[in-house]
Structure 1
Amino acid sequence: MNLSDARLALRDARRVAVLTGAGISAESGIPTFRDAQTGHWARFKPEDLASPDAYYRYPALVWEWYAGRYRDVMAATPNAGHELLARLEREKGDGYFLATQNVDGLHARAGSERLVELHGNLTTARCEVCAHIDALPAPADFVPPPVCSRCGGRMRPNIVWFSEFLPEQALEAASDAFTAADVALIIGTSGVVYPAAGLAFETLERGGTVIEINPDETDLTPRLSFSLRETASRGLAALMDG
């Protein structure tokens, strides 16, 4: 498959499923999970902070880290890649589905609606008592830990941590969409984090086309239909407007 074939496949597809990773948000200045370990936080591994055990032992420290990441994502804005996917959703309508591994909320802020956030969302918190989810207050007003608006319980970051399972309903919805997709787009993800990385193969196994957009070759590249060695925004522009 070449670029012209990929453009035609995407244009003619009735059902499109998209998976995004950290690469699409890098263009908005959002550091990757591990790149976020700078300054004061350089002495910690992400695994030291992003786990139920860490939160149980050091809740204030974990919240301090997540509060900093929350301020970072709220200072960022969606980029052309996010906006092009929101446009693709409008073009494909009910035949479109987006699953993201990112926790920054930028897809929704760009206008995407048919999406699931497989790893949670930094801009929300989940009650430890009743599981209610609340949006965090504006960064300037946020003093962790937040308190549940429903029951008054302490809230934790609404993030899927190491050793935790992905939300079952979100993963099932993603699996269904990729199984049914005529074309799947794999954008800005390393392809090493499962089960999300396995979604591409659900499309391939049903005879669909899988197009990767990534500046670097990944573990998935040799098995996919076509790969664009581009950033998310440039790759999507090449597919949609080229």
Structure 2
Amino acid sequence: MAQATLTITMPEQVWIQQLSTAYSTASFRVLAAVPDSETGFALVRIAGPEVADIVEEMRDHPQITELSLAQWSENEVTVHFETTAPLLLFSSRESGMPIELPVEIVDGEATVEVTGSRNRLAELAEQLEEFGLQYRIEHVRERLHERQLLSDRQLEVVVAAVEEGYYDTPRRSSLTELAEHLDIAKSTCSETLHRAEEGIIKRFVEDLPGVDTEERVEDPLASS
């Protein structure tokens, strides 16, 4: 499974592009969304100093066919609406690649995270282009299951280390005591823990935004 973060720019003729660029200090946070056959429904939280003006423009926009308020405050509003131009939803539906929510849209650009097979990612790229959406890839990596990250033996030793208090501060169990508990040599326990910690720490660093490592996989969208 590959996990990707994309920045997507909507076509200029789409309402969200028009409003989010006209009110560039506002953020549009899509909390929930579902496509219909020809329209889409969404729950969006809008934050910024001009939310009242944004809502009025949404009500008047021909691509918004229905709108109701779910929550309102001075600088934030949550709206439920139907639109005839849910291009992200259509791209997701046609590619079979679910888009993870929430999605943040600011100044015409949406930050989107998806997880799926390399084939599905390539299909999503094709659908984005089909619907006129420009995108750039910010981050791509292989998403491994925890069982793939650690061997069964490494997982057993790490779990025992946690349960016995080896990682507590102060420690409740020494390396010698942990090895005795597992009935293995101290050197074997140390080596197994070190290899497990290496995998866990490298995975943690790979997950940090803006960090590139040699463990990153090639972009599956670029090769499509």
What TM-score do you get using the length of structure 1 for normalisation?
A: 0.26
What TM-score do you get using the length of structure 2 for normalisation?
A: 0.28
Q: Indicate the structure with greater helix content.
A: 1
Q: Indicate the structure with greater strand content.
A: 2
Larger radius of gyration: 2
